[in-house]
Structure 1
Amino acid sequence: MGERILVWGAGAIGGTVGAYLWRAGHDVTLVDASPAHVAAIRREGLRIVGPVDEFVCRAPALLPQQVDGRWPLIALAVKAQPTEAACLQLRPHLAENGYVLSLQNGLCETVIEKLLGRSRTMGALVGFMGDLIGPGEIRFGQRAKFCVGELDGQISDRATALGRLMTDFEPDVEVTADIWGYLWGKLGFIALLYGTALGTATLVELFSASEFQPVWRCLAGEIVAVAASENVAPKGFDGFEPDAFAAGATAAAASRSMNAMADLLRGSPKTHSGMWRDIAVHRRATEIGNQIGPVVEIALRNGVPTPVLRRLVKLIQAVEKGDLTQSDTLIRELLPLPSGGSARIDAVTGREAQR
């Protein structure tokens, strides 16, 4: 008999991981807040489609209010915004010696450990690419870096056992002693994705475009600087090399890293980021306030300037509200003009104006 696992949030990430673990014989229960998604899974199963694999998972699916019982492992895969609310909902269903594995982006582990305790929290770097196409259907677009680790940096028996379990999803899973390094590394990559979400071109086109290299260098560079103020050295993965964006690194090094990431994405069905899909497809707010927002707060506390990240948050939120329209031109808004002025896009006319 396999492990008992409760997956709280059965979207692109949680649904994919949960489906693989179910197929491997584990006792998986899926939980999701979307009635349509839960109904579709109950009716037809959770369909995994795409170039990586295709199969149907018929694990039980529940709405949060329907959950009963306790689990030794709860994989939390909700968006960053409802992390606190989800923790309060799932807390009664976590076994006394159980723990929550965060399959999220950002620093959600800090929220979970405040509510549940560090000893009941495990972190993960989720690099693989998935999209929720519609109720009951997830596209698994591409495998990528996946690792898990204890927040205190110990390679515990529990972490080792989790690593073995997760090989049923990702054979090359890493059990790391530096999960915070990976989480901050992913934040650097996330900042780049938010930058591309301002535009309309593909990730490959935007990552490799020479005109945007200064933007990418500043975005990732500010993340690396804030991490350093927290005594964390971000770790690289899948072409993203944080050192290439650190203070003193050359523009050529940053461009090489951007091109390496673009090369890994060539031919992938994942043409745009999840943030772009939130805005352009799902017409909903992104997670930027709960992912980049905490980085800006840490920077303020530690005295690290983050003008480009601050501008990124404002522009993304303006696009979410419909005050601005996604455009590749909007990406240039992240940097000041060489003269010291700044280009701004008028929310009404959509035209660029000098200030």
Structure 2
Amino acid sequence: MDITIFGAGALGSICGAYLTRAGRNVTLVEPFKEHRERIRKGALIDGVRGEMIVPLNAVEAKDLSGPLDLVLLTVKTPYTMNALNDIKPYVGPDTLIVTLLNGISEDTIASVFGPERVLGCVVGWGATNAGPGHLTQTSEGKFTLGELDGRITERLKSVKGVLDDIVETLLTDNLYGHRWSKLSINCLIAGCGTLGQTVGEALAPERNKKVFARLVAEVIRTAEACGVNVEKFEGVVDPTIFTATDEESIERSMQILDMMAAVAGNIYPGPLQDIEKGLKTEVDYITGYCVDRALEKRVSVPINAKVREIIKQMETGEVIPSPDNIAILESAAG
């Protein structure tokens, strides 16, 4: 099975490196010439799993030949439609597309290629682009792979065999439950981004934890209003506890945030990284996705709505990321 990875950023290049090292036939599609040439010579992969240099077969989309077998979609979410348009000419009757994107993109991709061509993969680990040809894995975790309709199929098992060469891959009959669980974490990290701090710094003050606990609760209530049974993130963190109002659950939610600060404390929120690099943030596809679904279901999500507003203003320079922005989020919460 030939593998084509669309998006050779941190996630795509790390996936490509492990698959290449495992002897898989892998091609990465990367539009930026400098990065493409660097990873061709040898992608430097470092971080929590150690260091390796792996030359990658990186090309432009126009250099592909179809039909493609297995596509791994790893672009930043604002560039999803661009990638789908690049994929279109090379789709054959048996092409399968696996989305590893942040947010919940399966339905968008299925609307272009049909749900029968789409699988979803929730990424439980983090990575960042440290520079052209240099990718850093910032945390460890697994993949969770599922069909859109929840069936455990032979093709799902086949793709699991491929992804296992990257990290341990779990199969699920509740893909959207895992998607919303990850979305709650991503919305939390976006909220931390408004403060201009690492996740650990943003979650340290008790005042901040109370606000961010309510932010997570908004996401979970929205998921439940959409009929989703939210799963534990990475089989450990149960975000549904944030919606409980008894004293024991509130205390437990604070402990979960402390645990996240310890485990992911050095993570620099994606929106801040994107803004510093002059890139579009993913806020409309993460926090914005939650806010839009909440509006449809008439769920109140004032903190997430304010986070989206602040990050959009950060993109234009109207607002500066600052620890003082916690007061704005508090005010939105009422």
TM score, norm. by length of structure 1? 0.88
Residue 294 of structure 2 is matched in structure 1 by: 299
Residue 18 of structure 2 is matched in structure 1 by: 20
Distance 1:164 1:63 in 2: 27
Distance 1:282 1:337 in 2: 29
Residue 162 (str. 1) matches residue 159 (str. 2): yes
Residue 6 of structure 2 is matched in structure 1 by: 8
**Superposed displacement of residue 197, structure 1:** 0.6
Task: From the superposition, tell whether residues 240 and 333 of structure 1 become closer, same or farther in structure 2 (CA, over 3 Å).
Answer: farther
Task: From the superposition, tell whether residues 271 and 306 of structure 1 become closer, same or farther in structure 2 (CA, over 3 Å).
Answer: closer
Residue 276 of structure 1 is matched in structure 2 by: 272
Residue 240 of structure 1 is matched in structure 2 by: 237
Residue 254 (str. 1) matches residue 253 (str. 2): yes
Higher helix share: 2
- Aligned-residue Cα RMSD (Å) equals 1.8
SS class of match (1:105): coil
- Letter aligned with residue 169 of structure 1: I
- Letter aligned with residue 69 of structure 1: G
Residue from 196, 199, 206 that aligns with 1:203:
199
Q: Is the 8 A contact 2:103 2:286 kept in 1?
A: yes
Residue 72 of structure 1 is matched in structure 2 by: 69
Distance 2:332 2:291 in 1: 23
Structure 2 unmatched ranges of 5 or more: none
Moved more, 213-222 or 8-17: 213-222
SS class of match (1:82): helix
Q: Is the 8 A contact 1:74 1:94 kept in 2?
A: no
**Superposed displacement of residue 60, structure 1:** 1.4
Distance 2:187 2:332 in 1: 21
**Superposed displacement of residue 247, structure 1:** 4.5
Deviations 1:105-160 (A, max 9, x none): 00111210111111100101112111111111101222113211111101111111
Distance 1:215 1:86 in 2: 36
- Letter aligned with residue 100 of structure 1: I
SS class of match (2:213): helix
Residue 101 of structure 1 is matched in structure 2 by: 98
Residue 289 of structure 1 is matched in structure 2 by: 284
**Superposed displacement of residue 51, structure 1:** 3.4
Q: Is the 8 A contact 1:8 1:75 kept in 2?
A: yes
Residue 88 (str. 1) matches residue 92 (str. 2): no
Q: Summarize the alignment of residues 73-222 of structure 1 with structure 2, pairs less than 5 Å apart.
A: 73-170=70-167, 172-222=168-218
Residue 321 of structure 1 is matched in structure 2 by: 316
Runs of 4+ off more than 6 Å = none
Residue from 307, 328, 333 that aligns with 2:328:
333
Residue 39 of structure 1 is matched in structure 2 by: 37
Residue 224 (str. 1) matches residue 220 (str. 2): yes
Distance 1:26 1:94 in 2: 20
- Letter aligned with residue 271 of structure 1: I
Q: Tell me how many residue pairs correspond in the alignment.
A: 331
Deviations 1:146-176 (A, max 9, x none): 2111111011111111112211111x32111
Q: Is the 8 A contact 1:212 1:332 kept in 2?
A: no
**Superposed displacement of residue 177, structure 1:** 1.0
Q: Is the 8 A contact 2:271 2:311 kept in 1?
A: no
- Letter aligned with residue 164 of structure 1: G
Deviations 1:236-283 (A, max 9, x none): 2255321121253542121021112122235xxx4312222112x313
Distance 1:298 1:50 in 2: 36
TM score, norm. by length of structure 2? 0.94
Distance 1:15 1:191 in 2: 24
- Letter aligned with residue 171 of structure 2: V
Distance 1:34 1:337 in 2: 40
Distance 1:88 1:283 in 2: 23
Task: From the superposition, tell whether residues 48 and 28 of structure 1 become closer, same or farther in structure 2 (CA, over 3 Å).
Answer: same
SS class of match (2:273): helix
Q: Is the 8 A contact 2:181 2:239 kept in 1?
A: yes
SS class of match (2:69): strand
Q: Is the 8 A contact 2:244 2:250 kept in 1?
A: no
Q: Is the 8 A contact 1:52 1:140 kept in 2?
A: yes
Distance 1:141 1:295 in 2: 25
Q: Is the 8 A contact 1:196 1:331 kept in 2?
A: no
Distance 2:68 2:9 in 1: 20
SS class of match (2:120): strand
Distance 1:294 1:271 in 2: 22
